[in-house]
Amino acid sequence: MEQKIKRIGVLTSGGDAPGMNAAVRAVVRTASAYGIECIGIRRGWQGLITGDFVRLSSADVGHTLSRGGTILFTARSEDFMTEKGRKKAVATCRMLGLGGVVAIGGDGTFRGALELSRLGVPTVGIPATIDNDVGCTNYTIGFDTACNTAIECIDKLRDTMQSHERCSIVEVMGRNAGFLALYVGIAVGATAVLVPERELNFEKDVVERIQDSRVAGNTHFMIVVAEGVGSAVEIGKRIKEEIGIDPRVTVLGHIQRGGAPNARDRETATRMGYYAVRAFAEGRANCIICTQEGGIVEIPIEEALAMKKHLQMIRYEIMEATQVGSHITV
């Protein structure tokens, strides 16, 4: 008969995302329901190396569902990238008597989880990143809240842009993925959206869109730029040089990571946390908890890391077609 798991660890790693605390809460409380003790590992994988941990009870995670950030803190660990560091992490797991570790984060976090599993420590991953760029899952915790934060900021910027008849360039997060920029761009009715997945044709994608919008009667313009495309400041300079408009540039930066998670992120995080612990309780591990077609599925870590997520370019076509001055050539 398989021995029942007695104790698990939980950590958050990489960039923080709204809803991480909700996931930690769900892990702790579900573990308690299964009679499993939970240890919080602070500061990500680095905490496993340095022995930075805290025992977590159901009471300890009370009133955390609505909190942004992560109560366990997060950090990127160069030490964990080394064989020596990973062996220290395994030694900490053995010392604490951990039967497994729940790792909450993105692809980098899951690569760490894979390495730990290869050294004999069972792991389960929960996808949490505002970029929504984890290939194996339709949705990652934090994306919807980050989108709404950006939308709220842009709506306020639009008020002053309309008053002064100006062009606003807003840079949102997304170094390698444009999911956030495109989603937000559609939601705010942006004049143009620039994403890293689509090669930039400045004349067509920016200049002509502003000109067409102006001819159609618009006196203010909103350009949403994913940070991976390039500097919003430089794009602003180029607009001024080529069109003569003096744009105002706003870089939203880390404000997108903060704030209370919205309903979708709280609910998704809670479901994922529950399924992560249930996997351990039922003798399964070394997988990522993913959303697919509205449900929750478990995908082996190696298989999950090999999966790619592509930007739905039909969304880009929708964005272009629904703007003033747009036209479709058939």
Active site residues: 131
Q: Calculate the CA 310 to chain-centre distance.
A: 15
Instruction: Give the phi and the psi of residue 6 in degrees, each rounded to 5.
Output: -105, -30
Tokens 């370019």 -> residue = 313
* 180 contacts 173 by C-beta, under 8 angstroms: yes
Q: 68 and 269 in contact (C-beta within 8 Å)? A: no
Nearest one of 30, 47, 48, 28 to 38, comparing CA atoms: 28
CA–CA dist 143, 202 (Å, integer):
28
Rg value, the chain, Cα: 22
The continuous run of DSSP H or E covering 305 comes out as helix 301-306
d(C-alpha 164, C-alpha 178), whole Å: 29
Q: How many helices (H) and strands (E) does the chain have?
A: 12, 11
Spatial CA neighbour of 142 closest among 75, 68, 72:
68
Helix (H) or strand (E) holding 146: helix 143-164
For the chain, the maximum distance between any two Cα atoms, rounded to a whole number of angstroms, is 75
- Distance separating alpha carbons of residues 136 and 159, to the nearest angstrom: 39
Residue 99 CA neighbour count, 13 Å, CB half: 19
